[in-house]
């Protein structure tokens, strides 16, 4: 029997596997097993999960998707909560969810399927349990949109499954359109001198970032990576922080905001968990009452400092 056929037979018997499982069975090494599984995947005979076991994705045969649930204990804490919630409810409406759940759902791609729902001349993102059938999906989505009593009276709504990346890209395009409309509205106002506009733009771009750099410099913190999320308002960093046991790598979220909410902390917490790094949250405003409560209870691992 060809070694590839043998691997497929083993997977039929065992279900989802990682390369080390196959290496033991075929008396080979992990590198060779990984190469063979990748080859089978490129031919469409094997699927690869987003979920990872010890940093390695699972390889499984088409039709073995239900067995992926057996490995859900490998999800991060927040991802596992989103997994349990979606499994229980079967359909979730993105707009009704807490930010931490919305972020987690976008990470558990094996179990959460995004839906593009058209309703009342608008569109929304819903999430469905990956094993849910089409008819039940439409029924539950309609209940969330219309309520049980009006379900029979309303015409069938269009529900189309979409890739998360495409949905997020569409949202970014909408955001760009809104920004362009705003800019067009601004041009109707009294024009300013080119020098004034250029000077203002330069100040807007640099002032918050300069404050953060000054804070890092005073605390002997070095920057490994920078991502500007919103100009002069929100920046993500990967930083190196000196400590008594050596240099530690941190994920840092910096926000320029008068009131920092629990949602702001939730988003930072999830990103830190996904990067498997401790979290430093920098702000120039104040925490809301709820944010302070969550910091003392659920988000004790976040270090919050004011600049």
Q: Is the pTM of this model over 0.95?
A: no
Closest CA to 17 of 32, 6, 31, 7: 7
DSSP assignment string, 101-165: HHHHHHH-TTTEEEEEEEETTEEEEEEEETT--HHHHHHHHHHHHH-STTTTTSPPPPEEE--HH
Give ranges for CATH 3.40.1350.10 in the chain.
194-306
| Residue 144 CA neighbour count, 13 Å, CB half | 25
Q: Judge whether 135 and 91 are in contact, CB under 8 Å.
A: no
Q: Judge whether 229 and 235 are in contact, CB under 8 Å.
A: yes
Give the CA distances from residue 277 to residues 26, 109, 211, in Å, rounded to whole numbers and listed in that order: 37, 22, 23
**187-231 per-position pLDDT tens digit:** 444 455 555 544 544 444 468 899 999 999 999 999 999 998 888
How far, in Å, CA of 59 to CA of 18, rounded?
6
Q: In the block, which residue shows the tokens 């998707």? A: 65
How far, in Å, CA of 171 to CA of 191, rounded?
31
Residues of the chain with pLDDT under 70: 1, 148-206
Give ranges for CATH 1.10.10.10 in the chain.
3-73
How far, in Å, CA of 87 to CA of 132, rounded?
10
Assign 276 to helix, strand or coil: coil
The pLDDT value recorded for residue 297 is 79
The pLDDT value recorded for residue 160 is 47
Q: Would the CA dihedral through 252, 255, 256, 260 be positive or negative?
A: negative
Which CATH number is correct for 3-73, 3.30.465.10, 1.10.10.10, 1.10.1490.10, 2.40.50.840? 1.10.10.10
Q: For 77-109, b where at least 16 C-beta lie within 10 A, e where not — what string?
A: ebbeebbeebbeeebbbbeebebbbbbbbbbbb
How far, in Å, CA of 29 to CA of 34, rounded?
9
Assign 57 to helix, strand or coil: strand
Q: CATH class for domain 194-306?
A: alpha beta
């Amino acid at each position: 029997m060809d070694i590839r056929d043998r691997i497929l037979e083993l997977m039929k018997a065992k279900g989802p596997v990682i390369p080390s499982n196959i290496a033991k069975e075929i008396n080979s090494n992990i590198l060779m097993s990984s190469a063979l599984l990748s080859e089978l995947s490129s031919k469409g005979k094997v699927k690869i999960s987003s979920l990872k076991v010890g940093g390695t994705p699972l390889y499984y045969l088409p039709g073995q998707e239900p067995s992926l649930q057996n490995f859900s204990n490998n999800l991060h804490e927040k991802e596992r909560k989103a997994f349990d919630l979606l499994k229980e409810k079967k359909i979730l409406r993105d707009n009704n969810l807490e930010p931490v759940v919305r972020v987690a759902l976008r990470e558990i791609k094996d179990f959460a399927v995004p839906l593009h729902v058209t309703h009342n001349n608008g569109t929304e993102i819903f999430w469905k349990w990956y094993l849910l059938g089409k008819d039940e999906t439409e029924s539950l989505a309609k209940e969330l949109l219309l309520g049980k009593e009006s379900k029979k009276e309303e015409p069938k709504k269009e529900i189309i499954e979409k890739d998360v990346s495409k949905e997020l890209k569409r949202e970014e395009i909408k955001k760009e359109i809104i920004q362009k409309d705003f800019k067009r509205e601004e041009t109707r106002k009294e024009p300013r001198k080119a020098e004034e506009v250029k000077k203002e733009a330069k100040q807007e771009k640099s002032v918050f970032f300069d404050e953060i750099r000054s804070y890092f410099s005073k605390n002997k913190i070095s920057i490994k990576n920078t991502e500007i999320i919103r100009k002069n308002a929100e920046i993500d960093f990967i930083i190196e922080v000196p400590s008594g046991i050596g240099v530690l790598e941190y994920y840092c979220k910096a926000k320029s905001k008068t009131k920092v909410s629990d949602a702001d902390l939730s988003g930072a917490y999830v990103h830190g968990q996904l990067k498997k790094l401790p979290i430093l949250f920098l702000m120039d405003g104040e925490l809301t009452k709820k944010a302070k409560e969550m910091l003392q209870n659920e988000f004790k691992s976040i270090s919050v400092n004011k600049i």
